[in-house]
Amino acid sequence: MSEMKKITENDLPDEQQTRSGARIIQIQQRFSEHPSSGLTPFRAAVILREAEQGNILAQCMLAEDMEEKDVHILSELAKRRRAVQRLGFSIVPPLNPSREERRDTEMLNEILDSFSWFDDFIFDATDAILKGLSCQEFTGWERADNLIVPTGVEWIDPSTFQLNPNNRNELRLSDGSYEGVELQPFNWVRHISRSKSGYLARTGLVRTLVWPFIFKNYSVRDLAEFLEIYGIPIRLGSYPAGATEDEKRTLLRAVMSIGHNAGGIIPSGMSIDFQSAANGTSDPFLAMNNLMERAQSKAILGGTLTSQADGATSTNALGNVHNEVRVEVCYSDAKQLAATITRDLIQPLYSLNGVSFSNPRRHPRFEFDITQAEDIAAYATALPALVGLGMRIPRSWAHDKLQIPEARTGEEMLQSIQSPSSAFLNANHSNGIAALNAERQPADPLSAAPAAITGDEWRQAVDPILQPIVDIIMQNDLPTAKSKIGELYRDLDSEQLQDMIARGIFVAQIWGQLNAQRGY
């Protein structure tokens, strides 16, 4: 796809490739052989070795069985797959885009938003995490509103494919031939998930998870046998000498059924004794089971404390560390999938519909939103201090860090609500600064402060508040005065005092600034 040329409608396939050949249809109708039934370490090694040689059929079937039979694997994989599905996404233009490239990027975003099948498409693509590959075929292309778009995608079972014997990283449709059928261009979305480095057949988690899967099933089988032997006591029947065959059969039926029916009858002279089994415990089997499940969690999510806790070493801090590892795994999956979507979906759409297409190496990119919002409270405290120190911080950077979108032109914005006293103070402060910048220096500093307080206004505001306090102090000792003053403040109306103090602070600021300019 890196050498992609301008695509036209004539370059698009006429029909689905998996429906165009009789032998390919026959492969699609093959039922799974369920290789996990009776799976042994030797049989697992044979399956993995065959996959390395290009026959990935049995390995893909084994992965399907493991996901269906092991609840823990299914649960952990679902966490990892749905973590990618819940991420936001968008198409971004190339670096230093032109106006036409921006317009084409917006057009591609609108096309993507119209795909009702896109969420399922992302989920099916993450099937490659376990199996190493996930292929989806376009069901067709159509022209809609002068745009050429796919009608949908169809997930194709990985067992339908094989590797090219001459190139172990190339997928081909398995039709029974040695080399297989080459996949048609512009007809497939081929996602390869690399859990580790290696050829295509060795990148999936199935090769790592198959061993704990086998050992865990051995442990579960042994636990079932243990419960069957030790869970029900041994019943022994005794019959007297000379008992007839009918009496013996009657006793045997009673022995076999009494454990389930909790009752029965036997002839006189016979008895049934319940013998306790040897002491045994299920702890070793459960320990083996838990050990294998923890190994599976480590392989899939990178840790154990996001899925289960042992009650001993599980702490909140350690759980947060494990969760950070899980998030990093999610981001890695998202980046790999974004590259696949860009290559197999966005580039063909851009080549077919973009007016700015000129260079196959310069194209819009599909990106998942993997940024996390920072702590707003911490930034609200730190940013004003940093700006006050002279740091030139772009506003767009702060919006990106806090995940707060910038308001569009004409869009209503949030504004802080000021109290009447602070609004009065800010207004008079602005007027005072304007007065300081004027060429005329006032003779009286107080004349530069409009609505400044006077001595009479001060007494009128303060006397009703302070006089009761003075009377209490004069009439009582200090401990009693403190108690009564506290009760007095409960009903104190301080609005007038707040307004007076605000005006007084303003006058003091103006006075200090004027005296500083005059050199006092």
Q: Is the pLDDT of residue 448 over 60?
A: no
Q: Is residue 304 part of a domain?
A: no
Q: Could you tell me if 87 and 167 lie in one domain?
A: yes
Q: Is residue 313 part of a domain?
A: no
Token pair 């702490």 is at which residue? 315
Q: Could you tell me if 143 and 38 lie in one domain?
A: yes
| pLDDT for position 119 | 93
Q: Could you tell me if 391 and 426 lie in one domain?
A: no
Residue 417 is given by DSSP the state P
Q: Is residue 147 part of a domain?
A: yes
| pLDDT for position 439 | 43
Predicted confidence band of residue 103 (pLDDT cuts 50, 70, 90): very high
| pLDDT for position 1 | 42
Tokens standing for residue 314: 């599980």
How far apart are the C-alpha atoms of 171 and 472, rounded to whole Å?
94
Q: Is residue 270 part of a domain?
A: no
Candidate ranges 2-16, 124-138, 438-452; pick with highest mean pLDDT: 124-138
| Pair 497, 416: CB distance under 8 Å | no
Taking only the tens place, the pLDDT of each residue in 338-395 is 999 999 999 999 999 988 888 778 889 999 988 766 667 777 788 888 888 888 888 8
Give the number of C-alpha atoms closer than 13 A to the C-alpha of residue 264, restricted to the C-beta side.
19
Candidate ranges 24-28, 235-239, 319-323; pick with highest mean pLDDT: 235-239
Q: If you average pLDDT over residues 38-45, what whole number do you get?
A: 92
Strand partners, 89: 368
Q: Could you tell me if 98 and 127 lie in one domain?
A: yes
Please count the other Cβ atoms lying within 10 Å of the Cβ belonging to residue 337. 23
Taking only the tens place, the pLDDT of each residue in 419-432 is 555 555 555 555 55
Tokens standing for residue 147: 């745009």
How far apart are the C-alpha atoms of 74 and 19, rounded to whole Å?
31
| pLDDT for position 445 | 47
Q: Is residue 29 part of a domain?
A: yes
Extract the runs of DSSP E, i.e. beta strands, from 363-482.
365-368
Taking only the tens place, the pLDDT of each residue in 233-269 is 666 677 777 777 887 787 777 777 766 555 555 566 6
Q: Is the pLDDT of residue 109 over 90?
A: yes
Q: Could you tell me if 479 and 394 lie in one domain?
A: no
How far apart are the C-alpha atoms of 372 and 470, rounded to whole Å?
58
Token pair 């995608």 is at which residue? 153
Closest CA to 33 of 18, 47, 45, 49: 47
Pairing of strands 181-182, 188-192: unpaired
How far apart are the C-alpha atoms of 166 and 158, rounded to whole Å?
20
| pLDDT for position 226 | 75
Altogether, the residues listed in the chain come to a count of 520
Strand partners, 235: 274
Range of the domain at 29: 9-208+321-368
DSSP assignment of 43-98 equals: HHHHHHHHHHTT--HHHHHHHHHHHHH-HHHHHHHHHHHHHHHTS-EEEEPPSS--
Closest CA to 199 of 157, 162, 170: 170
Q: Could you tell me if 328 and 382 lie in one domain?
A: no
Residue 406 is given by DSSP the state P
Predicted confidence band of residue 111 (pLDDT cuts 50, 70, 90): very high
Q: Is residue 309 part of a domain?
A: no
| pLDDT for position 443 | 47
Q: Is residue 237 part of a domain?
A: no
Listed in sequence order, the residues at least 6 apart from 312 whose beta carbon sits closer than 8 Å to its beta carbon are none
Taking only the tens place, the pLDDT of each residue in 145-156 is 889 999 999 999
Predicted confidence band of residue 229 (pLDDT cuts 50, 70, 90): low
**In the β-sheet with 167-173, what is the strand arrangement from edge to edge?**
161-164, 167-173, 181-182
Structural domain total, the chain: 3
Taking only the tens place, the pLDDT of each residue in 458-513 is 555 556 666 777 777 777 777 777 777 767 656 555 665 566 667 667 766 776 77
Closest CA to 267 of 280, 248, 242, 285: 248
Question: Among 86-95, 276-285, 510-519, which is the least confidently predicted range?
Answer: 510-519
**Alpha-carbon dihedral angle through residues 97, 101, 103, 106, given to the nearest 10 degrees:** -90
Q: Could you tell me if 403 and 465 lie in one domain?
A: no
CA distances from 264 to 245, 261, 368 (A): 19, 8, 69
Q: Could you tell me if 379 and 487 lie in one domain?
A: no
| pLDDT for position 446 | 47
Q: Is residue 362 part of a domain?
A: yes
| pLDDT for position 474 | 76
How far apart are the C-alpha atoms of 336 and 352, rounded to whole Å?
24
Q: Could you tell me if 348 and 492 lie in one domain?
A: no
Mean pLDDT taken over the chain: 78
| pLDDT for position 442 | 47
**pTM given for the model:** 0.65
Q: Could you tell me if 40 and 128 lie in one domain?
A: yes
Q: Could you tell me if 19 and 88 lie in one domain?
A: yes
Q: Could you tell me if 343 and 377 lie in one domain?
A: no
